[in-house]
A and B are shown apart, each in its own frame.
Chain A
Amino acid sequence: MALETRIYQKERTIKFGALLKASLGDMYQSRFLAKQLAERDIKAMYRQSYLGIVWAFIMPLTTAAVWVFLNSSGTIRLSDTGIPYPVYAFSGTLIWSIIVSSINSPMQSTQAAKGILTKINFPKEALLLSGVYKLLFDSSIKIVLLVLFVFFYGVGFQWSLLLFPIAMLGAIVFGTTLGLFLTPMGLLYKDIGKIITFGMQFLMYVTPVVYAIPKTGIMRTIMIWNPITPIVVTARDLVVGFTPEYINYFLIVLVGCIPLLFLGLIIYRISIPIIVERLSA
């Protein structure tokens, strides 16, 4: 019987291919662990709460409600969106909330496992995967609510709604990739987490979340260049059955994310021992 051999030394040569293969291999191997961790966190969260699932969509719902009120009361005047405004606002805040939690997910999952990271050797990729599982769980609940909204406001069922999960996956992939790059630094310095929360607030206003892209002006340029725009717009178009006008841009962003996601995984793999050392020192 051949025994698996592990060698630990100060790495002098870095082979990206081998690292990526190991990373993806570990992720595949650790499906059960990841599922178990996600299940644990979800169960524990809902078992100790009465409102439970409500918390998953209370944030996007209230943000949308605020904007619906601002709009209907005439406090602010928004350009016509072509669909009932509550559906517009809620679909926007919902997909936005998915993106924000995806960005936070890798860091939060790793941070929460700090205690075992410094004590036990297990495939760390499981933490990322469990984060994705949790995101999928939360997001599917949000979709159910969105569908209710769509019918309630008379938009009706569109065949393109079946494609919405693809847009949702796009949001998760984009968010996780970005989050993965921030994770190593974020684990060392608390500042990173604060900056994300802070920055995302501003970023929301240059993304067509609660209002449409203006016809002209500097805001239009920023919004169009913003890589989150195609994700939000495409998701919404699929819900209401419009032809997704940013579909190409959306695909470019998504395809561009794949190599970056792999790079992020490699960096994550390299940085975990370095971070564990600083956390436990």
Chain B
Amino acid sequence: MLKSKRIVTDKEVLVKVEGLSKKFCKNLKTSLWYGVKDLVSGVTGSTQERKLRSKEFWAVKDINFELRRGQCLGLIGHNGAGKSTLLKILNGLINPDEGKVTIKGRVGALIELGAGFNPILSGRENIYNNGAILGFSRKEIDDKLETIIEFAELEEFIDMPVQHYSSGMKVRLGFAVAAQMEPDVLIIDEVLAVGDLGFILKCFKTIDAILPHTAVIFVSHNMPMISRICNHIILMEKGEAKFQGENVSKGIDYYYNKFLTDEKANVVFTDNSVSLNNASVLNVECIDSCYNIKWGSSIQLNLKIENYNLTRKPYISLAVYDKEQRAIAEIYPDNQSFDAIKKDTTIEYLVSLEHIYLSKGIYNITLNVSEDAAFNVHYKLHKAITLKVEHEKQMWTPFLLNSKLINSSSK
């Protein structure tokens, strides 16, 4: 393991980015006028420094990194953080305003699949159009045609006009052509989100095959995917690198924390018979509306519910959601009784949760109040409680099970 890592670091630097900055203009008319000025100064070769003009802002500010063959850089950040602009500069579509990019080798970009497709023409003809734009020669396409059609699984429809393809079919055809590139540097921007599962798995197989001998720059909002393939990460915010380094999980953590502040509980259903008054974790301090607990610890949830017009104690259940809003666990507390209660009272529940083996991260708990288990819901509230599980290990599966080695032998 150590040895292979050393070999990787010895490989040549393919992408070098130094102090890269780019500015954009907020207003269209002004932007066009600045375009005219830039045209003039571009053609005459004026050397004056480019400062921010009025209505301009830095879309990308002072980005630095180096990428070697075999490395994969993940670029994450909110919408409008400057990721795509950075990719455009790296791809040579627009010039930086400051700084320098040095790229060695053949650059491939998976930014738009199926560029140059004409809807009227058949799939076969469009393979040539798309391939030509991606820089293939006619002979190369001739040779790869069968492979491409087979990869796209479109043998039956290849002579049909592309306008009658479904969007998934178009993407498949586009990716099949792009997959034939043998780039030294590969730029990927959120194109793999479409297509069915089988196709996505196929894409990953292709990318995994390319990865070891390519420098990859990968933009995505899909954190599990980022953590799966990247060994470097840059978290961008307002054009700047907020976090940068080899600790991918830490970067992802920062990214998620950005979303935490505006999370409030929200009622998704109520028949106005009950409402949650207060929810807390016993003996745990609440920091930033979030309860920090240790992995594997046991906790007690305290739920105070206002009863307006129920005459029987309701059934409560909880569901655990991760940061991507995937449901990962459900909680049906035992020992619930349906005693008679008075209207306009407060019901207090104390629920114990034993050994929480959720892996490190933030989890929201949804509260469900109903007449009986899975019957006649009175009230449903998202994010009743937010838990933050602490552990030194970062992982992308929702659970880290408690385990230890009890024997190991070698023969």
A contact set with B: CB distance below 8 Å: 3-14, 32-33, 36-37, 40-41, 43-44, 47-48, 115-122, 184-185, 188-189, 267, 270-271, 273-278, 280-281
Contact = CB atoms under 8 A, between A and B. Distances in A.
Contacts of A119: 93, 109, 111-112, 115
B183 to A, nearest CB: 11
Given A116-B116, A119-B93, A13 B105 contact: no
B128 interface: yes
Given A5-B104, A120-B111, A271-B42, A281 B121 contact: no
A277 B94 contact: yes
A6 B14 CA distance: 10
B45 A14 contact: yes
Contact of B32 (A118, A122, A278): A278
A14 B41 CA distance: 11
A33 B365 CA distance: 56
Contact of A278 (B31, B88, B98, B133): B31
B278 to A, nearest CB: 48
Nearest to A117: B93
Interface string B27-67: 00001101110110011010100100000000000000000
In the A-B complex, list the 7 residue pairs whose CB atoms are closest, starting with the nearest.
A14-B45, A36-B132, A119-B112, A3-B105, A278-B35, A9-B100, A8-B101
Given A32-B138, A185-B36, A274 B121 contact: no
Given A3-B105, A6-B102, A11-B95, A274 B42 contact: yes
Nearest to A120: B115
B105 to A, nearest CB: 4
A122 B35 CA distance: 22
A14 B97 CA distance: 16
Interface hub of A40, A41, A121, A184 (most chain B Cβ within 10 A): A121
A234 B254 CA distance: 72
B346 interface: no
B25 interface: yes
Interface residues of B, number: 53
A13 B45 contact: yes
B31 A9 contact: no
Contacts of B120: 43-44, 47-48
Interface string B75-109: 00000000000001111111111111111111101
Contacts of B35: 188, 274-275, 277-278
Contacts of A188: 32, 35-36, 39
A37 B96 contact: no
A267 to B, nearest CB: 6
10 contacts: A6-B101, A11-B42, A40-B118, A40-B121, A40-B125, A120-B111, A120-B112, A275-B35, A276-B88, A278-B35
Interface string B161-187: 000000000000000000000001000
Contact of B95 (A3, A8, A120, A267): A8
A81 to B, nearest CB: 43
Contacts of B39: 184-185, 188, 270-271, 274-275
Given A40-B129, A120-B109, A7 B121 contact: no
A252 B237 CA distance: 58
Nearest to A33: B132
